[in-house]
């Protein structure tokens, strides 16, 4: 069962990944699987997204989604 919700989480992350730039994304643990992620803000530069993440009180509940130079989905 855990694997299934993990898979939904991965699909949700891919859906929230921008074609260009960087999305700072938060996790709402009270939402149903498939709706737990929400976009906080979009940034053109990685450094700006990283700074915004560091400004959050609980950094573990936020991550940055983007595509790398090979068009692969990445999470930081």
pLDDT digits (tens), the chain, 76 positions: 344 456 778 889 999 999 999 999 999 989 988 899 999 999 999 999 999 999 999 999 999 999 999 999 999 9
Quote the number of domains for the chain.
1
Contact 21, 64 (CB under 8 A): no
Beta bridge partners of 24: 41, 64
Tally helices (H) and strands (E) across the chain.
Answer: 2, 4
pTM recorded for the entire structure: 0.86
Q: Can you give the residue range of the structural domain that contains 7? A: 2-75
């Amino acid at each position: 069962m855990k694997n299934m919700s993990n898979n939904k989480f991965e699909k949700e992350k891919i859906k929230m990944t921008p074609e260009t730039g960087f999305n700072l994304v938060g996790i709402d643990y009270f939402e149903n699987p498939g709706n737990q992620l929400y976009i906080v803000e979009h940034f053109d530069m990685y450094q700006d997204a990283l700074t915004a993440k560091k400004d959050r009180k609980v950094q573990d509940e936020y991550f940055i989604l983007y595509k790398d130079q090979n068009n692969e989905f990445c999470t930081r």
